[in-house]
Amino acid sequence: MEGLELMPQDSIEQAIHKSLIKLSTEKAGDDLVVSGVFSFAEDFPAFAGHFPQEPVFPAVVQLAIVRIIAGQGLDRKLKLALVERAKFSGVVRPHEEIKVTVNLQESNEGIRAKFKIIRDNVTVASGTLVFK
């Protein structure tokens, strides 16, 4: 992942924002549900070096997407405090459209975010993160 390591975090975040097709938020009881649809071009910086002949979207950037859209839904910057659970069960390749859904709840630990990333009606990642 040498390309990702050399790239400033702000550049990755800007590239994520540029790859966003649609963002929506809705209230579900006391929770806030934020959903984003993304498609990442072959030149998306996180694909560089991961892997050169077979580009795969890095799991760490998938978690960054969850943080970014959760922050947009709450209209504030969030910092990851805890990865309570994360399961990566599929891959995301260039130009594949993914839907990221984050269910946000206030908790004693901070903002609890249950997320699911879906590609072609198949869950490729899911879990629970806690943000401060």
Domain range for 126: 2-131
pTM: 0.90
CA distances from 92 to 7, 42, 73 (A): 20, 11, 24
The total of structural domains in the chain comes to 1
The per-residue pLDDT string of the chain (132 residues; one tens digit each, 9 = 90 and over) reads 344 444 456 788 999 999 999 999 999 999 999 999 999 999 999 888 778 788 999 999 999 999 999 999 999 999 999 999 999 999 999 999 999 999 999 999 999 999 999 999 999 999 999 999
Check which CATH number belongs to the domain holding 16 and give it.
3.10.129.10
130 within 8 A of 113, measured Cβ to Cβ: yes
